[in-house]
Amino acid sequence: MAWIDGDYCPIEEAKISVLDWGLLRSDATYDVVHVWKNRFFQLDRHIERFTSSIEKLRLKLPVTEQELKVILAQCVDKSGLNDAYVEMILTRGTSPVPSRDPRDAVNNLICFAIPFGWIANEEQRQRGLHVSISDIQRIAPESVDPTIKNYHWLDFVQALLRGYDDGYENVIMVDGRGNITEGPGFNVFIVEGGAVSTPSSGVLEGITRQTVIDLCIETGTPVEVMPVASNRVRTADEVFISSTAGGIMPVTRVDGGEIAGANPGPVTRRLHEAYWNRHEDPAWSVAVSELLRAGPDPDAATGSRDESR
């Protein structure tokens, strides 16, 4: 189910103009949150990152944050999905033809809910992904700020296609200094001697990445955000990736070499379990039905709630 041009419609009917800057120039930002067992996970953090990306791109959200939450909840509710991949997109929109001035465009908000999708399939999640470290560099952060969630994916897609040709299931990108960055839709972590590290720059600051950091701090697991040289990934005790599209997923082969004896390691397994356990915790998640009851005006949530609905 989608919300576009101010209305809900089946996803296959949701269409944008071919003149939208989002299509013609990848001039857009987006965010993806998931719903698991009818609860949004870390919704406020996703909305916060979305509005921060919007500001950095000098776009304007045409609805309030509370209205946005209700639109997302309606998309999920109307789709009938219990587990969903929920995307919000703000494109630059269209300008009067033939203007090439982005300031003339009217920004375009699109939201949708589709079935939950995983970066790694079930077999890969059980035994760990087999990845390569691509020699294609991620777009430099000096060119496109990776903390703005964006559709500049040509480097990812070319690296992925090359990785598939070589028999790998996914790829990790590097920067110009021999450090790893991230992969198509995920952040990367390594574990060395019980300590967890993840790259400090050239990456989207993933909500799942932050959740992993929070869980490490809570459980007394040493965690560092620092440059991570490619070689450290090949020799690490454990490697895992993190994403809204699948949570914490083990990597057990890098460039053909085995990691953790080719089995998901203990730190990865512990974090994976803690991550999924948090999905029912009200401090980390909110029910779709609760957002619908609250409505676009948050005050409507207090006092007069009809709990029987």
Interacting residue ranges for ligand PLP, rule: CB under 6 A:
32, 182, 185-187, 204, 206-209, 242-244
CB of 243 to ligand PLP, least distance (A): 4
Distance of alpha carbon 39 from alpha carbon 282, whole angstroms = 9
Nearest to ligand PLP of 124, 244 (CB atom): 244
Nearest to ligand PLP of 32, 294 (CB atom): 32
Nearest to ligand PLP of 169, 182 (CB atom): 182
Which amino acid would we find at residue 173? M
**Given the DSSP bridges, would you call strands 129-137 and 186-192 parallel, antiparallel or unpaired?**
unpaired
**In a 10 Å sphere around its CB, with 0-12 CB exposed, 13-18 middle and 19+ buried, how is residue 48 labelled?**
middle
138: CB partners within 8 A, 6+ apart? 146, 155, 156, 173, 174, 175, 181, 182, 202
The residue number whose beta carbon is nearest to ligand PLP equals: 206
What are the tokens at 214?
């929070």
Nearest to ligand PLP of 105, 204 (CB atom): 204
CB of 156 to ligand PLP, least distance (A): 7
CB of 143 to ligand PLP, least distance (A): 15
Distance of alpha carbon 98 from alpha carbon 16, whole angstroms = 18
| 154-187 b/e (C-beta count within 10 Å ≥ 16 → b) | ebbeebbeebeeeebbbbbbbbeeebbbbbbbbb
Nearest to ligand PLP of 2, 204 (CB atom): 204
CB of 253 to ligand PLP, least distance (A): 21
CB of 204 to ligand PLP, least distance (A): 4
Q: Is 77 left (phi over 0), alpha (psi -120 to 50) or beta?
A: alpha
Residue closest to 86 by CA, chosen among 54, 122, 46: 46
Instruction: Decide: 224 and 230 in contact? Cβ < 8 Å.
Output: no
CB of 299 to ligand PLP, least distance (A): 30
φ/ψ of 217, rounded to 5, equals -60, -45
Nearest to ligand PLP of 32, 89 (CB atom): 32
Nearest to ligand PLP of 286, 294 (CB atom): 286
CB of 9 to ligand PLP, least distance (A): 24
